[in-house]
Amino acid sequence: MTGATIPGQAGPDVKPRRDRTHFLYLAVVVAVVLGIVLGLTAPDVAKELKPIGTAFVGLIKMMISPIIFCTIVLGIGSVRKAAKVGKVGGLAIGYFVTMSFVALAIGLVVGNVIHPGGGVELTEAAKGVGQEQAAAGSETTMTDFLLGIIPTTLVSAFTEGVVLQTLLVALLAGFALQTMGRSGEPILRGVEHIQRLVFRILAMIMWAAPVGAFGAIAAVVGETGVDALKALAAIMIGFYLTCALFVLVVLGTLVRVVAKVNLFSLLKYLGREFLLIFSTSSSESALPRLIAKMEHLGVSRPVVGITVPTGYSFNLDGTMIYLTMASLFIAEAMGDPMTVGQQITLLLFMMVASKGAAGVTGAGLATLAGALQSHKPDLVDGVGMIVGIDRFMSEARALTNFAGNAVATLLIGTWTKEVDKDRVQRVLAGELPFDERTLLDGHEGHDGGHDGGHDASAGTAGPPAASSGDDKALARS
């Protein structure tokens, strides 16, 4: 059979398309540097650019609901046994709770060792800010959060932008298509075409990333200033080091032992997403790309579709570390250090209260203030001390949360045997590059060898209408 190709490799007569998107991300780096320079030299001007960054993040966030819906419906609708989905969800929730405890423990230990609040004084101006954040953090109770998962109508989940509402509707639609059997296949094909459309729109939006990054980072630096960074350097450095410790030691060990994957290879594969998060201070800006990239990596659609959206609300490792260290910092700075028992009680409450505060900038600060208002009201005024640097700490939170969800998806895929291990190694080795133009594989003449489903040997199933890479190779032979 001459001229045949194998999945993931171009044929002898096919010229691979040049990936010009690396220029886009070089432009993002330049934009971040220029934004920092502008924020330091002309802070008043830089502050006025905040709407540019907000607009870019808003453009990406509007794509999150349709992408989550399509991914989950295609994944669950093509799986014959509903029990498999339940197994994935149960494993995911159990893992998320466990890692939240681990992150809290690490933050607790490091915070008690470095004592970051020593030598910092509370100003009168900061007191009022803490009370405002406390009011925002106590507005939503756990009952409100649970009821908020249910959308007003079947389609309102797509307009309100609540990830868990979209997740619920997508799960119901996926299970309904499961029960429809062959009569549901035309609907699955239609959803697949919609998925191609929304990913193409997302790829178009990404070309605005340099402008969005410039506006976002300039506004942050302009609002914060150098003086605040110097004064609160201890808590910032301690927090960044603790996040790095958690990612490199805890997540690195887990992904090496369980999935047999080198953490640095995975982080390199997700490098563009980390750059996007750093420049926007929100992990939600990279949520759609994480879904696309984890599917491309070799994890099945059901695992990606359930783990990633759920993780964005429940697997907030960076937020856990932030809540721990910020609480200890405030208590020490105000001369009212907490006992170990008080620390544990407060942080367990925060772990519950933080669920649902996904990668939204500033959500961690409101959760912190609301929890302190409930447990130690005399510390609420201290929240104002870290408001100035919260955006910089928000970047570390978002980066850590994102890394935690990427690792979680790979681990759960491994535990449920829903990952193509050979493909994982080939993708991380650079043999199967990610298609930055469509964010999907196997469509429109692209020979990605992976169309969102996997072969039977990987224990997964793609949508019935999708053709495999092997079929395409045979057609060209």
The pLDDT, as a whole number, for residue 437 is 73
At residue 264, the pLDDT reads: 93
Q: Rounded to an integer, what is the distance from CA 44 to the centroid of its chain? A: 31
**Quick one: what percent of the chain has pLDDT higher than 90?**
11
> What SS3 state is found at 296?
helix
Whether 104 has a pLDDT exceeding 60, the answer reads yes
User: pTM here?
Assistant: 0.72
Q: What is the mean pLDDT of the chain?
A: 75
pLDDT of residue 220: 74
Q: What pLDDT does 423 receive?
A: 92
pLDDT at 477: 33
User: Which tens digits make up the pLDDT trace of 182-237?
Assistant: 888 888 889 889 988 988 888 888 888 888 888 887 887 777 666 656 666 777 78
Pick from 72-81, 212-221, 394-403: least confident? 72-81
> Rounded to an integer, what distance in angstroms lies between the CA atom of residue 221 and that of residue 217?
6
Confidence of residue 19 (pLDDT cuts 50, 70, 90): low
pLDDT computed for residue 7 by the predictor: 43
Residues sharing a CB contact under 8 Å with residue 431, sequence separation 6 or more, in sequence order:
8, 9
Q: Region 452-469: what's the mean pLDDT?
A: 37
**Higher pLDDT among residues 20 and 414, named by residue:** 414
32 within 8 A of 214, measured Cβ to Cβ: yes
| pLDDT the model gives residue 412 | 93
According to the model, what pLDDT value does residue 120 have? 52
Amino acid at 465: A
Minimum mean pLDDT among 67-76, 210-219, 450-459: which range? 450-459
Q: Do 405 and 312 meet the contact criterion of CB atoms below 8 Å apart?
A: yes
pLDDT at 358: 45
Q: Give residue 417's region: left, alpha or beta (phi > 0; psi -120 to 50).
A: left
| pLDDT tens for each residue of 294-322 | 999 999 888 888 888 888 878 888 888 88
Whole-number Å distance between alpha carbons of 295 and 277: 20
Q: How far apart are CA 199 and CA 348, in angstroms?
A: 38
Confidence class for position 121, pLDDT limits 50, 70, 90: low
Backbone torsions φ then ψ of 186, nearest 5 degrees: -60, -35
Sign of CA dihedral 93, 98, 103, 108: positive
Most confident of 204-208, 209-213, 399-403, 445-449: 399-403
Does residue 126 carry a pLDDT above 60?
no
- Single out the residue of 451, 472, 470 nearest to residue 462, CA to CA: 451
- In this structure, are residues 436 and 457 in contact, taking their beta carbons and an 8 Å threshold? no
Tens digits of residue pLDDT in 324-374: 888 888 887 777 777 778 788 877 777 766 654 444 445 567 677 777 776
pLDDT surpasses 60 at 459: no
| The one-letter amino acid at 278 | F
Say what percent of the chain tops pLDDT 70.
Answer: 73
Q: Which residues pair with 299 in a beta bridge?
A: 419
Q: How crowded is residue 229: how many other Cβ atoms within 10 Å of its Cβ?
A: 14
Contact 122, 384 (CB under 8 A): yes
- Give me the pLDDT at residue 269, please: 93
The closest of 115, 416, 440 to 288, measured between CA atoms, is 440
Half-sphere exposure of 231 (CA within 13 A, CB side): 15
> Cα Rg for the chain, rounded, in angstroms?
23
pLDDT, tens only, 256-279: 999 999 999 999 999 888 888 887
Establish how many alpha carbons lie within 13 A of residue 317's alpha carbon, considering only the half-sphere containing its beta carbon: 28
Beta strands in 9-157 (DSSP E): none
Query: What is the pLDDT at residue 116?
Result: 64
Q: What gap in Å lies between CA 203 and CA 225, rounded to an integer?
A: 34
> Stretch 117-125: mean pLDDT, rounded?
51
Q: The tokens 């935690």 sit on which residue?
A: 404
pLDDT at 247: 93
CA atoms 299, 253, 436, 61: torsion sign: positive
For residue 46, give every residue at least 6 positions away whose Cβ sits within 8 Å of its Cβ, in sequence order, or none.
35, 38, 39, 218, 219, 221, 222, 223
Which residues are paired to 419 by β-bridges? Answer: 299
Determine the pLDDT at residue 257.
93
408 Cβ contact list (under 8 Å, min separation 6): 92, 95, 96, 99, 307, 311, 315
pLDDT digits (tens, 9 = 90+) for 405-422: 999 999 999 999 888 999
End-to-end Cα spacing for the chain: 6
